[in-house]
Every structure is written in structure tokens, then in C-alpha cells.
Amino acid sequence: MPSFVTALGDRRFDLALAYLPFGDQAAWDVVDARADRVVQVLTSAYAAPDGPRPPLPDRPRLILGWHPTGRWHTPEEVSAAALELAFSGDDAVLGVTRPWGDRPA
């Protein structure tokens, strides 16, 4: 993780839209410490029946479900939903997460 911290330098941010699907807790903690507002953009695994706990329990979360037509969401759809949460402060699911067996491949 030193390269992640090195890349950030001493920067602070008003807002972080954080999508770190392979980031460990330490990476999430660095983002949280550097930003006034954080929106966690989390994979659909967080909506799974036995899914992981969110890395930052007290920060808004956007769970990336899938489009009801059976496709994943576009980057534009994800970005718009994440920005909406940045200003509402609520948790949300983009699309659907049930039935779990209907997830796109």
C-alpha cells in the first residue's frame, strides 16, 4: 500500500467516490481519512446473502446491482448514481440484486 499513499501525497478531498473492489481495509481507511465525504461504490457481492460487511460502516454506500434487463450498468449510470448519493447521503442499490441467481455473467 505505500504506493497508494505515496500517490495521494498530502492531498485532501472534498469528495471521494471510492471504488476499490480489491482494496484492503487500510486503503479504505486512507481514503476515509483524506476526504470530507466518501461514497463507497461496492460490488454486488455486498448484497449477496452472505456478503461482506462494508469497509466504512458510517459512510454512504452504493451497491452495484444489475439492470433489470439482465446486464451490468454502464460507467455513466454508475457515476450518476454515485454523485446522487454524494449529495443525499443515503445508501442505495443501483438496479436489482434479487433473485441472486439472475446476476449477469
Q: What is the pLDDT along the chain (105 residues), one digit of tens a residue?
A: 567 778 888 889 999 999 988 888 988 999 999 999 999 999 999 998 889 999 999 999 999 999 999 899 999 999 999 999 998 989 999 999 988 888 887
Rounded to whole angstroms, the Cα distance separating 31 from 96 reads 27
pLDDT of residue 21: 87
Q: How long is the chain?
A: 105
Q: Which residues pair with 16 in a beta bridge?
A: 38
Instruction: Tell if the pTM clears 0.95, that is, is over it.
Output: no
Largest Cα–Cα separation, the chain: 44
CA separation for the pair 89, 61 (Å, rounded): 9
